[in-house]
Structure 1
């Protein structure tokens, strides 16, 4: 039996799905850690990015934060947390993943709001809208495509990276992989990798559909009264 056959056999065994700490339990833990991390990143990144993009400041900050996040691996953060009161476990993993997800959410939100046509903003103000109304009713609908791109990128990265939780007693599908390595059961290792990859692809597909649904336009959900216009590539580059 080759490695792929062993992985398929592992996935076809109902016991591996239904037992305690089986695929279903670990999958639920994986999703919970990922969801909390992404929601935390959105709760911070979207308001801050929207505000910075609205006032037209903070471009250098967002670019610097994005570059720093690429230089600091999540595993390094988990190692640092190990010697702090945070310690090991799901809490440390969730915080590390939230910090990992924050830069793409913040950067794309900033670029999305900064790329809104200034004529639209001035027209909204001329209609008597306050700054909060301009932000929510004029700029937000136009910024949604790039904003959702940031959320989708962050979510897929978090789902894939959450396998590291198993290294710090954080649960998730990574436990199948780490346990497989310990037992030299490489079929289980491949099965765990397939499950994580499938979950990441499913996340991408679901958020792509959600992004399509919430982007104003023909046959989509109305998020505002302003006609949408996707920023041109030159405008986005200039805003960044």
Structure 2
């Protein structure tokens, strides 16, 4: 089977969590699955920007990205964060190849048109998964940072959830899993929703039950499910050890997002 696993937040910052996530992904690969990892690195980027004297600003869960912020994102996401993930997988005997979405033109971007303007924030305009297929053919795991190259020659910061969804669609993945800092999607009662149907999302959004970074995540879930991805799950990174069992057994952690 093909899996796309998205990592972000504390799972990239906490060494123990990163170790656990790396082990779970390595087990998936050891079971004969093809796995691609897509990652963000917003926490690390925010810290680096603060060290540079820049204050991070977000609108609807998306980072406002001027040229200096974009260049920092290239350095942090495609550099330190990407290579730390490659190393974490390597610790468990799993060969990994780190790349940004711009490498090999795997993902091409266009500027995201918003009001107000977000700067160098992009959305996926085209995909070419041949390099990912080549890495899988060699028995390795592609580890992709959420940076893509625009047709105008500029690099764009891409929301990692959107990148993961685009990757799952492009590779015809069987499952897309978001390993997150939160236990799942919470309903109006504050409890984690074990199942969430796509038609329920607009109402939860209108009632401000779903806000902030969960908005682009659920939009990414919707895009994946409506373009052929069979299973989409939001799973707390602390439960990463359950990753190899998601398809074969009943897992009562996180939120399963379904078409209907």
TM-score normalised over the length of structure 2: 0.26
| Higher RCO by CA contacts (8 Å cutoff, separation 6 or greater) | 1
Flag the structure with higher strand content.
2
Flag the structure with higher helix content.
1
Work out which of the two has the higher radius of gyration on C-alpha atoms and give 1 or 2: 1
TM-score normalised over the length of structure 1: 0.28
